């Protein structure tokens, strides 16, 4: 049996005295797309940020429970958070390219991490990453131009290229298509389906149709609790919980 990439056990998360996540347990399996759905403020983005410790940057937060990445507790003393975030990359809701060239955006992390190698190696890394992000053919002749000149959809795919440049194990996507038009959204969805061949992907989405289209597993969050977590097909056609059925049919949420 395949081991999970992430194993989450009895996770509670606090913003100060407020308990934002309550007793979350789930496994995220390799080379699958896991979708987290639920209304705004239900904890799904907070949970996603727990997976690469982005919440560490918020003062007064606290984690109880255990999150293991390939069997290692990511909150254990001695865990290198920089290495963790290299292994678990994140794509945010709004595209956030750096105000520099397309090439330098993709080359940024390899340079910072000291893995860029020679100029020819770096050029190969940039091309590979842009190809994986389905962007190479659109930008190969304008690599020296400012990334802020790209369309929003292209900028988001550039941000994906920036993440895959360091070849992470997991890619987290927090509402990564919510700022995009339908065509750009479809391009990113097709890209996600392709990326799972090489990576494990976890997404937060308000778009239930999107979750149904592109994910293998789906979890419904509600008021900080994981109501149901199962195969996407089962969640959308044979949910076990009444609340899940009410949410996906639009009667609640």
User: Whole-model pTM above 0.85?
Assistant: yes
Tens of pLDDT, residue by residue over 135-178, are: 999 999 999 999 999 999 999 999 999 999 999 999 999 999 99
Give me the helix-helix angle, 152-164 and 102-113, nearest 10°: 20
Mean pLDDT of the chain: 95
Model pLDDT for residues 216-243, shown as the tens digit of each residue: 999 999 999 999 999 999 999 999 999 9
32-43: pLDDT as tens digits = 999 999 999 999
Any idea where the domains of the chain sit in the sequence? 6-248
In CATH, the number for domain 6-248 is: 3.40.50.300
* Nearest alpha-carbon partner for 91 in 180, 167, 159, 178: 159
Residues 170-217 pLDDT 10s: 999 999 999 899 999 999 999 999 999 999 999 999 899 999 999 999
237, containing H or E segment: helix 232-237
The residues facing 89 across adjacent strands are: 171
How far is it, in rounded angstroms, from Cα 194 to Cα 96? Answer: 22
Structure-block tokens of residue 156: 């988001």
Q: Which of 80, 44, 68 is nearest to 218 (CA)?
A: 44
3-class secondary-structure state, position 90: strand
Per residue in 69-98, pLDDT (tens digit) is: 999 999 999 999 999 999 999 999 999 999
């Amino acid at each position: 049996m395949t081991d999970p990439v992430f194993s989450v056990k009895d996770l509670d998360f606090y913003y100060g005295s407020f308990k934002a996540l309550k007793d979350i347990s789930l496994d995220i399996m390799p080379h699958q797309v896991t979708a987290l759905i639920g209304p705004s403020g239900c904890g799904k983005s907070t949970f996603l940020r727990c997976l690469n410790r982005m919440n560490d940057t918020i003062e007064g937060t606290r984690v109880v429970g255990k999150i293991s990445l390939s069997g290692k507790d990511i909150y254990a003393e001695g865990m290198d958070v920089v290495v963790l975030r290299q292994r678990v990359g994140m794509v945010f809701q709004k595209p956030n390219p750096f105000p520099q060239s397309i090439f330098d955006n993709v080359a940024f992390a390899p340079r910072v991490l000291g893995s860029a190698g020679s100029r020819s190696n770096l050029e190969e890394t940039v091309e590979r990453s842009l190809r994986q992000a389905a962007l190479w053919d659109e930008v190969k002749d304008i690599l020296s131009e400012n990334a802020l000149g790209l369309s929003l959809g292209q900028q988001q795919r550039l941000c994906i290229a920036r993440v895959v440049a360091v070849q992470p194990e997991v890619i987290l996507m927090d509402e990564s298509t919510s700022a995009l038009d339908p065509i750009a959204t479809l391009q990113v969805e097709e890209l996600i389906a392709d990326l799972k061949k090489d990576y494990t992907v976890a997404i937060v989405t308000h778009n239930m149709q999107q979750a149904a289209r592109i994910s293998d597993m789906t979890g419904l969050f509600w008021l900080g609790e994981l109501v149901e977590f199962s195969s996407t097909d089962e969640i959308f056609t044979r949910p076990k919980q009444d609340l899940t059925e009410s949410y996906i049919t639009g009667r609640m949420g």
